[in-house]
Structure 1
Amino acid sequence: MSNTRHHCLQTSIFVGRMGFMCAKQHVKLDRLLLAWLLLCYGVNNAYCLTVHENSGDLHSLLEFKQGITSDPNEVFSSWNTSTHYCRWRGVICTPKRPWRVWGLNLTGQSIAGKITFSLANLTLLSTLDLSSNLLVGQIPPLNGHQQLETICLNDNSLEGTIPNALTNCSNLRKLNLSKNHLSGAIPPKIGSLSNLKYFDISCNNLTGSIPSTFSNLTQLYFINLFLNQLEGNIPEGLWGLPNMVILELSHNRLIGEIPQSINISRLQALGVAFNKLGKALPSNIGIALPRLQRLAMGRNTFEGQIPASLGNASGLQLIDLPENSFTGQLPADWEKLSGLTRLNFEKNMLEAGDIRTWEFFHALRNCSSLRVLSLAQNRLQGVIPNSIGNLSTTLQQLLLGENNLLGVVPPMGNLHSLVSLSFGENNLGGSIGDWIGKLQNLQGLELSGNNFVGTIPSSIGNLTRLTQLLLDGNKFEGSIPSSIGNLSQLSKLTLRYNNLQGNIYL
């Protein structure tokens, strides 16, 4: 899963302002005094500029300011006692008296320094968003903040552990601590946050296991644990959370398997790549996850056949299963996957050899949005079917290298969107037709390590965007076409181990 970034919600409250004007030049003093008092004390939620009704909130904010060491955008220029703290930049107050600090939003201001523990004294705080800054140090304990619903401290350089005290914020709905330098374990009591819907701790250095208490968080729709050092089994309860939409666990050290009982009917994205998961995938995975759009499982030890039921998840856009131990034939029931854009099965042990087992390509013709198809480094053999030329005209990468393919490459001139085409390290033969010159968007063409014969087509000079042309290790003969001199962007050209003659003028 779509590497993989998530942004904090920004909340603001408009607080009305009230002014007054004199209708006549001579106005009695008592009327002026009355108007001033109304301005200070509460008509239409206005507040006096110099009266601070809650000294605790005031001092907590001023102490937070003292922890800031760099303020290039002058965020804190308004933070002084001559102005009511409800008008300080980034401070959001409750709409009615007594005006208390309800939110603190200073996202993306490039401020540096530490988050002082004084924020724990803002007892009515509901939203804390200090994301995308240069803050260091530890996360302050916010114990007992029953009003706190959103904490966004992502994209900083915070260190230390996730405070256990955060698990006492019973109304917490969103917690984003991603892209910091946090270490230690996920607090086991995380399951007590029964209102939690969004949980992102990706891109840290967290260790230990995923707490089994996650199964209690039935409101969760987003979990991102990407790029940590978590290990152990994935709690079974995680595979049954009813509201889960995004589940991203890639780049950890997780073991175990995906249970046959998986049932997350709302799940749209599942990422478990770069772990140590194994065994066969649930045969009904495409039925159990009917809304699935993105499936990323590369770099594990999954085995067995790729479930044919994936063809039932008609919304699939990405299937990324490289570097596993999948065996057997390629599934042929893909007619429903019209929105599929990426299909990557490279570095497995998948097989194909006759017309029946090559029906896979025939089924893919309905995938009209396909951009990437990689079956490199598998156990495919036999003749490439002519139906390969009927693949989507949106296809940009077609990678079939390092298999055991035979015969002649079928014409593919209608695949004019191709950027990368690889048939290297097979047993393909015959000549390359002039159709190759129709692929004018090609940047990489690899045909090395085969048995191609005949001359190199002069039409190859039409591919003026080529940066890599690999033709070595074949049986090409005759003169090197002068049209290769048209390839001004070439950075790599290999022609050795052929029977060619002549000069190259670039």
Structure 2
Amino acid sequence: MLVLLSLLLIAHGASSSIRCSAIPNYESTDMISLLDFKRAITKDTRRALRSWNASIPYCQWEGVMCSLRHLTRVTELNISDLGLAGTLSPSLGNLTFLKILDLSNNNFTGELPPLNRLHRLQLLLLRNNSLQGMIRDTLANCSNLELLDLSSNLLVGEIPLALANCSNLEWLDLSSNLLVGEIPRNIGFLSNLLFVYLGHNHLTGSIPDEIGLLRNLLDLFLAGNGRLSGGIPPSVLNLSSLVVLDLGNNMLEGALPSNIGDMLPNLKWLELDYNKFEGHIPASLGNIPGLRRLGLSFNNFIGQLPYLECLRASLLVARLPGARDPSSSSSSPVPKAADRRLIDLRLPLEPAVTGDSHERLDKPTDFRRAITEDPTQALRSWNASIPHCQWEGVNCSRTHPGRVTVLDIGGKGLAGTLSPSLGNLTFLKRLDLHNNNFTGELPPLNRLHRLQELWLQNNSLQGMIPDNLANWSNLEVLALSSNLLVGEIPRNIGFLSNLFLVDLGDNHLTGSIPDEIGLLRNLLDLFLDGNGRLSGGIPPSVLNLSSLVVLDLGNNMLEGALPSNIGDMLPNLKWLELDYNKFEGHIPASLGNISGLRTLGLSFNNFIGQLP
């Protein structure tokens, strides 16, 4: 049974909303409200709202859609990714027929306007702006809300108790803000929740037992709050559908449940690093057949690493003290992870050193000089009086002192360009600069052959995706969404066989989806949505990605018929979004064979026939 099913454009392309081409242009309440909203916009460098004038019926304005039944009432306002700046006018609260409000990926500031009158609202997306203040009346009348995304802003205060009013909510993303306080216990009332992202705030207290009432939950992301404490509540083991559980970078403690692997058999991603967990690592983790990511480093585990042979060899468990280094003069082989003695798990997995041992210990100082704005003084520790391995967001190797392995300064509001000196950090495994205001082109990073994670989403980076991707043979995460990238998806992406997350959505990419994408047999999530001009069909090779959980190709110009056997070949899909394209033909009956499918978006295409 599908929980979130977008309206399907089938049988003559019927839809609940349509652009108004013959609506009289008189001053309705909605038009006045839209003009008030426009007046509060102070910057529109792309002239995206040039159609918002009295000579054009407002139902034909950019981003505006009106009801087919109530001809003058606005049902959708979608002006995301347009570089708009200003404040959000309270007049938005007068658009009482609004179902979709998407202002994400702009530069709006100020407080959230009161939206408590929008009782029809289903999708509210305000992510990646600079909105401030508290979440107040926004949630007062939200019984129809299905998706709430306020992530990557500057919101403060506590998560409001009124959240419990959103009884139909399926997607909750408040991550990367400045929220404080505890996770409300009444979150357990939101039984339809599929995705919960509350990470990278300043939340405190324990994880509430009531989280275990969310039996449909697929993703639970609480990482990076720093001060969440207590243990993993036993009720979490009730979440048998869980695919992602990320609790890293907190102060959680205690032993892991011994049966965690038996009770959470669908996990693909389990991150518990940078906490205070202790005791033995449960042997039951080896019973999770689809686990692709396991992070346990920087805790206080003891004993032996259990037999995890069924898991991928590249799992980020830890490099264990006492394991022989391949660069050692001894000829003894490095023991398999399952055979290594475990003293503690506070050391991250470290690859062997290759190349010139006299290579200088590079510091990210040139990178700092290319930053022109640091509004939160996030880099105040980046000075000569402090060792660079103690700078904010910098981690260094324990086995090769001075060599930077992690540069993580995402969500700091930084502006500037990316210095080519980043390419000198040859020991770098994780580069995370997401949710900043970096501009210019991607620097040459072809020397970063140890790189495993590249998080650059939600900036204003330009140019093309580098065509030397093949140098990143260890890459597992490629996140470049919500930038201004152009050109085609490089075909040699197929060489990156370790990738399990590819997020290239919300750019300006063109051309077709390369056949080589089907070589990424470990891929779990593929986001290519919102590029607008990706064309051609779904390549048959995509059906080789049997582990795929998320496939989002929406808002492009893709066409052709869907493969008739898509549901049989992609049995692990939870999220399939194909809306706002030019697909045609019949909707495959095999979609009904995907037992775990939770979200299906097929609207605004040219499908014919009946819904199977």
* TM-score calculated relative to the size of structure 1: 0.62
Deviations 1:329-373 (CA, angstroms, capped at 9, x unpaired): 1112x23224x5322335x8x8889xxxx99955769xxxxxxx9
> What is the Cα deviation at residue 100 of structure 1?
1.1
Alignment correspondent of 1:99 = 72
Alignment correspondent of 2:297 = 322
Matched residues in 2 for 1:127 and 1:362: separation?
Answer: 52
1:398 aligns with 2:371: no
Q: Between the two proteins, what is the percent identity of the paired residues?
A: 41
Counterparts in 2 of 1:53-64, with a 5 A limit?
55-64=28-37
Deviations 1:195-234 (CA, angstroms, capped at 9, x unpaired): 0000011111000110000111111111111110000111
Q: Does the Cα contact within 8 Å between 1:94 and 1:100 map onto a contact in 2?
A: yes
The aligned amino acid for 2:75 is: W
Q: Does the Cα contact within 8 Å between 2:427 and 2:448 map onto a contact in 1?
A: yes
Note closer, same or farther for the CA distance 1:101–1:327 as it changes in structure 2 (3 Å cut).
same
Alignment correspondent of 1:242 = 215
Matched residues in 2 for 1:242 and 1:230: separation?
Answer: 23
Alignment correspondent of 1:260 = 234
The aligned amino acid for 1:48 is: A
Which secondary structure state, in structure 1, belongs to the residue aligned with residue 241 of structure 2?
A: coil
The aligned amino acid for 1:84 is: P
* TM-score calculated relative to the size of structure 2: 0.51
Q: Does the Cα contact within 8 Å between 1:345 and 1:376 map onto a contact in 2?
A: no
Deviations 1:363-405 (CA, angstroms, capped at 9, x unpaired): 769xxxxxxx99897699xxxxxxxxxxxxxxx95369xxxxx
Counterparts in 2 of 1:78-477, with a 5 A limit?
78-252=51-225, 253-261=227-235, 262-332=237-307, 334-338=308-312, 341-346=314-319, 361-362=335-336, 398=351
Q: Does the Cα contact within 8 Å between 1:331 and 1:360 map onto a contact in 2?
A: no
Matched residues in 1 for 2:397 and 2:41: separation?
Answer: 53
> What is the Cα deviation at residue 194 of structure 1?
1.1
Q: Does the Cα contact within 8 Å between 1:45 and 1:97 map onto a contact in 2?
A: no
Matched residues in 1 for 2:124 and 2:153: separation?
Answer: 14
> What is the Cα deviation at residue 48 of structure 1?
3.1
Note closer, same or farther for the CA distance 1:119–1:325 as it changes in structure 2 (3 Å cut).
same
Matched residues in 1 for 2:294 and 2:173: separation?
Answer: 23
Matched residues in 2 for 1:56 and 1:374: separation?
Answer: 71
Which secondary structure state, in structure 2, belongs to the residue aligned with residue 189 of structure 1?
A: helix
Note closer, same or farther for the CA distance 1:257–1:421 as it changes in structure 2 (3 Å cut).
closer
Matched residues in 2 for 1:360 and 1:250: separation?
Answer: 32
> What is the Cα deviation at residue 51 of structure 1?
2.6
1:68 corresponds, among 38, 41, 47, to 41
Q: Does the Cα contact within 8 Å between 1:102 and 1:127 map onto a contact in 2?
A: yes
2:25 corresponds, among 51, 60, 75, to 51
Q: Does the Cα contact within 8 Å between 1:273 and 1:299 map onto a contact in 2?
A: yes
Deviations 1:266-325 (CA, angstroms, capped at 9, x unpaired): 111111111111000000000111000111111111000000000011111111111111
Structure having greater relative contact order (Cα 8 Å, sep ≥ 6): 2
Q: Does the Cα contact within 8 Å between 1:351 and 1:379 map onto a contact in 2?
A: no
> What is the Cα deviation at residue 107 of structure 1?
0.4
Deviations 1:177-202 (CA, angstroms, capped at 9, x unpaired): 01110000000121221100000111
> What is the Cα deviation at residue 50 of structure 1?
4.7
Alignment correspondent of 2:529 = none
Deviations 1:80-119 (CA, angstroms, capped at 9, x unpaired): 1221100000101112342310000000000000110001
How well do the aligned residues superpose, as a CA RMSD in angstroms? 3.9
Note closer, same or farther for the CA distance 1:305–1:58 as it changes in structure 2 (3 Å cut).
same
Matched residues in 1 for 2:89 and 2:37: separation?
Answer: 5
Q: Does the Cα contact within 8 Å between 2:112 and 2:138 map onto a contact in 1?
A: no
Which secondary structure state, in structure 2, belongs to the residue aligned with residue 179 of structure 1?
A: coil
The aligned amino acid for 2:188 is: S
Note closer, same or farther for the CA distance 1:175–1:375 as it changes in structure 2 (3 Å cut).
farther
> What is the Cα deviation at residue 13 of structure 1?
9.5
Which secondary structure state, in structure 1, belongs to the residue aligned with residue 101 of structure 2?
A: strand
The aligned amino acid for 1:260 is: P
Q: Does the Cα contact within 8 Å between 2:139 and 2:165 map onto a contact in 1?
A: no
Alignment correspondent of 1:499 = none
Matched residues in 1 for 2:346 and 2:75: separation?
Answer: 61
The aligned amino acid for 2:172 is: F
The aligned amino acid for 1:259 is: P
Q: Does the Cα contact within 8 Å between 1:71 and 1:110 map onto a contact in 2?
A: yes
Which secondary structure state, in structure 2, belongs to the residue aligned with residue 286 of structure 1?
A: helix
Q: Does the Cα contact within 8 Å between 1:345 and 1:374 map onto a contact in 2?
A: no
Structure 1 spans left out of the alignment, 5+ residues: 1-8, 17-43, 366-372, 381-395, 401-419, 426-442, 446-464, 469-506
> What is the Cα deviation at residue 73 of structure 1?
1.3
Matched residues in 2 for 1:263 and 1:466: separation?
Answer: 41
Q: Matched residue pairs, number? A: 347
The aligned amino acid for 2:126 is: L
Matched residues in 2 for 1:220 and 1:300: separation?
Answer: 26
The aligned amino acid for 2:351 is: L
> What is the Cα deviation at residue 240 of structure 1?
3.8
Matched residues in 2 for 1:98 and 1:221: separation?
Answer: 34
Matched residues in 2 for 1:225 and 1:205: separation?
Answer: 11
The aligned amino acid for 1:297 is: L
Matched residues in 1 for 2:145 and 2:346: separation?
Answer: 51
Q: Does the Cα contact within 8 Å between 1:344 and 1:374 map onto a contact in 2?
A: no
The aligned amino acid for 2:283 is: A
Alignment correspondent of 2:601 = none
Matched residues in 2 for 1:190 and 1:207: separation?
Answer: 15
Q: Does the Cα contact within 8 Å between 1:399 and 1:421 map onto a contact in 2?
A: no
Matched residues in 2 for 1:10 and 1:110: separation?
Answer: 27
Which secondary structure state, in structure 2, belongs to the residue aligned with residue 206 of structure 1?
A: coil
Q: Find the structure with the greater CA-based Rg.
A: 1
The aligned amino acid for 1:398 is: P
Bigger mean CA deviation after superposition, 178-187 or 136-145: 136-145
The aligned amino acid for 1:242 is: R
